[in-house]
Amino acid sequence: MTAPSYWRERKYRYRLIAKYCRNCDKKYYPPRLVCLRCGNDKLEEVELPRKGTLITYTWVTQPPNEFAAYAPYAIGLIKLDDGTLIFAQLTDVDYEELREGLRVEAVFRKNV
Ligand SMILES: [Zn+2]
């Protein structure tokens, strides 16, 4: 990553920042520049709640090469407390603990 792109994107790191269309009351995560419903290009930034509920999940045992060191790992679809759906890696959880409806909280880590 270049220094200019690091500074440009720094506020999005370690936070769940979405774009919000006031016309449609619709949030986009990952953020978009234009609303898919109405074409509004004046979307506002909003921080999403960090807590939510696990909707569904799966274990990845055959990841792409760049993620091979992390395998096996779980990924899941999470409904945040404001209703926004996000797809994320699930960490700090054992195989036996994972279940639909599990309460989860976002954590952010530096990739080193
Ligand atoms: Zn819209």
Domains and their CATH numbers in the chain: 1-48 (no CATH), 49-112 (2.40.50)
pLDDT at position 5: 65
∠63-77-66 over CA atoms, to 5°? 20
Instruction: Answer with the residue of higher pLDDT: 14 or 26.
Output: 26
Confidence of residue 1 (pLDDT cuts 50, 70, 90): low
Give tens-digit pLDDT for 51-107: 999 999 999 999 999 989 989 999 999 999 999 999 999 988 888 889 999 999 988
Q: Find the 35 Cα to ligand 1 centroid distance in Å.
A: 5
Q: Find the 4 Cα to ligand 1 centroid distance in Å.
A: 30
Confidence of residue 28 (pLDDT cuts 50, 70, 90): very high
Q: Find the 79 Cα to ligand 1 centroid distance in Å.
A: 21
pLDDT at position 6: 63
Inter-residue contact 77 to 23 (CB < 8 Å)? no
Q: Find the 24 Cα to ligand 1 centroid distance in Å.
A: 4
Statement: residue 36 has pLDDT above 70? yes
pLDDT at position 51: 96
CA distances from 13 to 79, 89, 109, 111 (A): 20, 15, 9, 11
Q: Find the 38 Cα to ligand 1 centroid distance in Å.
A: 4
